[in-house]
């Protein structure tokens, strides 16, 4: 088998790493890319998700090369934006922000945009945008209070984590569940496979490991 390029994940998110591991992919390097996530004036949520994914990928690539590695690596980055109409909901850092998000999401459908960028060793940029529609039940005051007390909302886009307690609020989801968690696995696999990355290589051992 021909040697493959290293893979750099431009994130320190345990959720994104776990999602990659779910489909048998273990990146060689994790390079967090901290960027200014403030929307530009009049910027649409879908454009923001793509722009930030690209900025994170470029930032991680620069950090890796400055540290002396990753010269011939693939760099994968993602950004998730939760929006109600044209309004981008923040990554909640305070209980007040989280409460505002819950009140906006309660009883209505919102959109989750996840942008992907893959930088290749040849200098190409491969990008995807995944849109998922999520509808929340109408939340009671008691449900909101209990969720806020859990602190699960902290640093989560839109003030919630669908893979956690807030999964109980979701009435309907149209699109990619994994994208709402943080990484659309179908599109990631397509992008990597398109660059010759052996996405399926580790799948060969799964049947023996599972004991089936």
Residues with a known catalytic role: 79
- DSSP bridge pairs for 117: 77, 127
Residue keyed to tokens 């659309």: 184
Q: Which pLDDT score, from 0 to 100, does residue 206 have?
A: 59
Checking if the pLDDT of 19 tops 70, the result is: yes
Q: Which pLDDT score, from 0 to 100, does residue 2 have?
A: 54
Confidence bin at 207 (pLDDT 50/70/90): low
Q: Which pLDDT score, from 0 to 100, does residue 41 have?
A: 94
Q: What is the largest CA-CA distance in the chain?
A: 58
For residues 124-138, average pLDDT? 98
Confidence bin at 12 (pLDDT 50/70/90): confident
Q: Where are the domains of the chain?
A: 7-210
Instruction: Quote the tokens at residue 26.
Output: 């273990």
CA dist 166 and 91 (Å) reads 15
CATH number, span 7-210: 3.90.950.10
- Structure pTM? 0.92
Per cent of the chain over pLDDT 70 is 95
Residue pair 184/114 in contact by the 8 Å Cβ criterion: yes
Q: Which pLDDT score, from 0 to 100, does residue 102 have?
A: 97
């Amino acid at each position: 088998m021909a040697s493959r390029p290293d893979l750099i994940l431009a994130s320190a998110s345990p959720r994104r790493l776990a999602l990659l591991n779910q489909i048998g992919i273990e990146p060689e390097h994790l390079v967090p890319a901290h960027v200014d996530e403030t929307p530009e004036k009049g910027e649409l949520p879908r454009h923001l998700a793509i722009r930030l994914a690209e900025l994170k990928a470029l930032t991680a690539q620069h950090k890796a090369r400055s540290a002396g590695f990753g010269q011939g690596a693939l760099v994968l980055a993602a950004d998730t934006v939760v929006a109600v109409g044209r309004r981008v909901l923040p990554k909640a850092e305070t209980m007040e922000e989280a409460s505002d998000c819950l009140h906006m999401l309660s009883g209505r459908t919102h959109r989750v945009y996840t942008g992907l960028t893959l930088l290749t060793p040849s200098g190409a940029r491969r990008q995807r945008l995944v849109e998922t529609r999520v509808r929340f039940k109408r939340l009671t005051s008691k449900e909101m209070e209990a969720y806020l007390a859990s602190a699960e909302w902290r640093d989560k886009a839109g003030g919630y984590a669908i893979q956690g307690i807030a999964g109980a609020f979701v009435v309907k989801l149209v699109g990619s569940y994994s994208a709402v968690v943080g990484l659309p696995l179908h599109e990631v696999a397509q992008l990597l496979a398109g660059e010759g990355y052996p996405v399926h290589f580790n799948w060969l051992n799964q049947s023996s490991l599972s004991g089936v």
